[in-house]
């Protein structure tokens, strides 16, 4: 990379829209210089855009504020890296095999043709294939991660087809391109982008589970042997806890405040009967604990759905998302699974310069932004340029000629008007003087008998 480039990203999730602008230096280091967000209540449901018009208005507001930030201005955002996630996103495993002439060289072109075949696989008609992520390869039935350069008579590849309902991509394109009027630099599958950014190579190789606990959805991604092997989006999140608390006759905002201040994912040995604004703390605790345990149980059940067990995930569980800000939620996950649990964090080559934005709320959008770090990835911002006249000699000569002609016509017209105005003005002035004199000097023929006039 020969110089810095500016990139922008947008993440549309159930609770908010987050936009970010970053600067990538010559060494590929990403500095996140501005982050803005808008609430998406009643616009997005389970990660799926419901109200296109309102979502577009809120994205436009985010973009406008980003462009006004001192670290961004006077640059304008012309395109975006857009995150894709939502309730219907999941994986389907497919294997593609080729019988080859003996000692056939395995090339990039051969692998690409097999991936294209995987992308054309027959699946449920209600879904569309968004990407085909390669896992393991077998050359002559021997497993390898890098088949290019080897030779054999048979090649087998395992792909994780990432599928979702067509509305996910359709609504993203409609909102960003048609309504907001910006280009889409790339649609980025958010869980993949997060895994690439915050998971270590060792964790992916040993086996680990990445859990993103959001407001209305929880995304679970499982890695083994360095590759994704399972992906599911559960229609449950931290907002379910908040809604449970609203059953104690309070508004959602007040319930959210109570959840974050006194809520605890693990039941306390000493349950308090303290009354807060007419609500017993013990009632709140019971609701929070019950729902937190349900969420954790659903998360851990995904290991069984993937055909694995805890012993096959020595890399542990990596957690992200605002839902894990609930007191002792990480600890509950650790107790129930007996796996190591750590909070996901940004790597050292990503610097969050916008200190107003907490990293636990921005990991997803920064992961989407990171997709623009690739050397061949397009920039998203540009500095507006003032229009300048062409410097072509012919054009200049013609323009000068037209300008001279206009000046001559203007001068002649003005001179003509001045001469005309001068004549008309002189005639009018002479007429006025004559009228004045005639009014004060009577006609001599009529006044010959007046002796006083002889002294005039």
Residue 224 is given by DSSP the state E
Q: What is the pLDDT of residues 204-247, one digit of tens each?
A: 999 999 999 999 999 999 999 999 999 999 999 999 999 999 99
**Domain membership flag for residue 452:** no
Print the domain residue range for 296.
5-88+166-382
144 and 69 in a single domain? The answer is no
SS3 of 426, please?
helix
Q: Is 225 exposed, middle or buried (CB count within 10 Å of its CB: 0-12, 13-18, 19+)?
A: middle
Q: What is the pLDDT of residue 46?
A: 87
Q: What is the pLDDT of residue 278?
A: 84
Q: What is the pLDDT of residues 60-111, one digit of tens each?
A: 999 999 999 999 999 999 999 999 999 999 999 999 999 999 999 999 999 9
Q: What is the pLDDT of residue 268?
A: 85
220 and 308 in a single domain? The answer is yes
Q: What is the pLDDT of residue 395?
A: 45
Residue 330 has pLDDT above 90, yes or no: yes
148 and 295 in a single domain? The answer is no
139 and 270 in a single domain? The answer is no
d(CA 252, CA 239): 9
**Domain membership flag for residue 190:** yes
31 and 170 in a single domain? The answer is yes
Residue 176 has pLDDT above 90, yes or no: yes
194 and 181 in a single domain? The answer is yes
Q: What is the CATH number of the domain that holds 263?
A: 3.30.420.40
d(CA 362, CA 215): 14
297 and 375 in a single domain? The answer is yes
Q: What is the pLDDT of residues 374-407, one digit of tens each?
A: 989 999 999 987 655 555 554 444 445 544 554 4
**Domain membership flag for residue 24:** yes
Residue 427 has pLDDT above 60, yes or no: no
**Residue corresponding to tokens 């201040």:** 261
**Domain membership flag for residue 411:** no
Percentage, residues of the chain above pLDDT 70: 84
**Domain membership flag for residue 273:** yes
**Domain membership flag for residue 344:** yes
Q: What is the pLDDT of residue 193?
A: 98
Last residue of a domain, one of 341, 360, 382: 382
Q: What is the pLDDT of residue 442?
A: 46
376 and 246 in a single domain? The answer is yes
77 and 94 in a single domain? The answer is no
Q: What is the pLDDT of residues 100-110, one digit of tens each?
A: 999 999 999 99
Nearest in space to 85 (alpha carbons), one of 218, 198, 207: 218
Number of domain units in the chain: 2
Tell me the average pLDDT of the chain. Answer: 87
**Domain membership flag for residue 405:** no
50 and 113 in a single domain? The answer is no
Last residue of a domain, one of 115, 131, 164: 164
What dihedral angle (degrees, nearest 10) is formed by the CA atoms of 140, 150, 95, 89?
A: 150
d(CA 265, CA 289): 5
Nearest in space to 291 (alpha carbons), one of 323, 250, 268: 323
Last residue of a domain, one of 122, 137, 164: 164
Residue 58 has pLDDT above 60, yes or no: yes
Q: What is the CATH number of the domain that holds 142?
A: 3.30.1490.110
Least confident of 29-33, 91-95, 137-141, 417-421: 417-421
**Domain membership flag for residue 423:** no
Q: What is the pLDDT averaged over residues 3-7?
A: 93
Residue 128 has pLDDT above 50, yes or no: yes
Q: What is the pLDDT of residue 423?
A: 46
């Amino acid at each position: 990379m020969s110089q810095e480039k500016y990139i922008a990203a947008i993440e549309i999730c159930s609770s908010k829209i987050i936009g970010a602008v970053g600067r990538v230096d010559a060494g590929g280091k990403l500095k996140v210089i501005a982050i803005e967000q808008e609430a998406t209540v009643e616009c997005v449901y389970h990660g799926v855009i419901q109200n296109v018009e309102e979502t577009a208005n809120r994205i436009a507001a985010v973009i406008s504020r980003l462009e006004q930030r001192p670290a961004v201005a006077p640059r304008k955002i012309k395109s975006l890296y857009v995150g894709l996630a939502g309730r219907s996103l999941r994986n389907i495993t497919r294997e593609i095999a080729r019988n080859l002439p003996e000692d056939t060289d395995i090339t990039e072109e051969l692998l690409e043709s097999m991936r294209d075949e995987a992308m054309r696989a027959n699946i449920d008609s209600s879904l569309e294939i968004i990407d085909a992520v390669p896992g393991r390869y077998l050359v002559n039935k021997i497993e390898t991660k890098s088949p290019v350069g080897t030779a054999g008579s048979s090649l087998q590849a395992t792909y994780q087809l990432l599928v979702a309902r067509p509305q996910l991509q359709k609504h993203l394109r409609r909102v960003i391109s048609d309504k907001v009027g910006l280009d889409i630099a790339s649609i980025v599958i958010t869980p993949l982008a997060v895994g690439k950014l915050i998971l270590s190579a060792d964790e992916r190789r040993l086996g680990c589970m990445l859990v993103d606990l959001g407001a209305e959805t929880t995304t679970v991604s499982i890695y083994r042997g360095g590759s994704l092997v399972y992906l599911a989006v559960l229609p449950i999140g931290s907002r379910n806890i908040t809604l449970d608390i609203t059953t104690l006759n309070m508004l959602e905002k007040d319930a959210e405040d109570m959840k974050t201040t006194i809520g605890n994912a693990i039941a306390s040995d000493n349950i308090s009967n303290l009354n807060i604004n007419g609500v017993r703390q013990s009632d709140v605790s019971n609701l929070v604990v019950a729902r937190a345990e349900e969420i954790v149980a659903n998360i851990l059940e995904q290991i069984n759905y993937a055909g694995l067990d805890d012993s096959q995930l020595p890399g542990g569980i990596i957690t992200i998302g605002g839902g894990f800000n609930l007191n002792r939620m990480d600890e509950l996950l650790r107790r129930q699974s007996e796996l190591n649990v750590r909070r996901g964090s940004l790597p050292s080559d990503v610097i969050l310069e916008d200190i107003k934005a907490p990293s636990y709320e921005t990991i997803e959008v920064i992961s989407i932004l990171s997709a623009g770090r690739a050397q061949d990835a397009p920039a998203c911002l540009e500095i507006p340029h003032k229009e300048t006249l062409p410097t072509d000699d012919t054009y200049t000569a013609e323009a000068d000629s037209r300008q001279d002609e206009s000046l001559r016509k203007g001068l002649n017209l003005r001179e003509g008007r001045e001469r005309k105005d001068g004549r008309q003005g002189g005639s009018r002035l002479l007429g006025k003087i004559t009228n004045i004199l005639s009014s004060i000097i009577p006609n001599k023929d009529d006044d010959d008998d007046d002796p006083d006039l002889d002294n005039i």
